[in-house]
């Protein structure tokens, strides 16, 4: 009897491209490699600014930033110690973005790229292109993107909290962007 086929994972590589699973969240770092005190990350509290930003969130019903967390994470890592995903230039990537946060909606963008949404919460949709996605708590988006040549920031902006989480997508040699980067796609999303 032949062994059962293993279910396909987003991390499987094939002739069609590669895949990454990205979990964004709020809370505390999970291990000693991402403990903020060990790597110098500091959480800045600016309640006055958070109140002003909170009032500017009509899409979320004006109810953003109720709870402030010390860290915003991508795959359990703080922005000063980001997770790096690797691929080849020109390769098509499937990215599953999951918001596992308790009280934070995130606006997510991959610097220098347009995302094509193919699924929401596991259901296929007519493909839609976007520079950034607003992802509520518990939501999941599957996107496809043709990767450029270089090192690109995958940034999750915590809505109403003026803080970010960061991962990197590396397709070639180059310097990583600073941990505080905000790609143009995020800035444009706020102006829309």
For residue 61, the model assigns a pLDDT of 57
Distances (CA, A) of 52 to 23, 47, 72, 77: 27, 9, 20, 28
Residues 19, 10: Cα–Cα separation, whole Å: 5
Report pTM. Answer: 0.77
Beta-ladder partners of 152: 169
- Rg (C-alpha) for the chain, rounded Å, is 17
Q: In this predicted model, what pLDDT tens digit does every residue of 115-157 receive, in sequence order? A: 999 999 989 999 999 999 999 999 999 999 999 999 999 999 9
- Give mean pLDDT in consecutive 10-residue pieces for the chain, a chain of 192 residues: 44 62 78 43 40 51 66 92 94 95 92 96 95 94 96 94 93 93 83 54
For residue 36, the model assigns a pLDDT of 46
For residue 32, the model assigns a pLDDT of 44
Phi-psi region of 71 (alpha: psi -120 to 50; beta: other; left: phi over 0): beta
Residues 50, 55: Cα–Cα separation, whole Å: 9
User: Which residues lie closer than 8 Å to 2 by C-beta, 6 or more apart?
Assistant: none
| Structural domains of the chain, ranges and CATH numbers in brackets | 18-191 (2.60.40.420)
For residue 37, the model assigns a pLDDT of 42
Nearest one of 65, 94, 101, 87 to 150, comparing CA atoms: 87
For residue 29, the model assigns a pLDDT of 53
């Amino acid at each position: 009897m032949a062994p059962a086929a293993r279910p396909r994972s987003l991390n499987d590589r094939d002739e069609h491209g590669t895949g990454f699973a990205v979990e964004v969240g709020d809370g505390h770092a999970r291990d000693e490699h991402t403990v903020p005190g060990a790597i110098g990350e500091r959480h800045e509290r600016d309640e006055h600014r958070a109140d002003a930003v909170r009032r500017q969130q009509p899409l979320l019903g004006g109810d953003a930033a109720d709870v402030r967390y010390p860290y915003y994470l991508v795959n359990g890592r703080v922005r000063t110690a980001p997770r790096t995903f690797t691929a080849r230039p020109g390769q098509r990537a499937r990215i599953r973005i999951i918001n596992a946060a308790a009280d934070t909606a995130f606006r997510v963008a991959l610097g220098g790229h347009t995302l094509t949404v193919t699924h929401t919460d596991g259901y296929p949709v007519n493909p839609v292109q976007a520079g950034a996605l607003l992802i509520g708590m518990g939501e999941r988006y599957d996107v496809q993107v043709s990767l450029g040549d270089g090192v690109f920031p995958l940034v999750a902006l915590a809505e109403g909290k003026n803080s970010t989480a960061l991962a990197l997508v590396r397709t070639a040699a180059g310097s990583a962007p600073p941990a505080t980067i905000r790609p143009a796609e995020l800035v444009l999303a706020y102006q829309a």
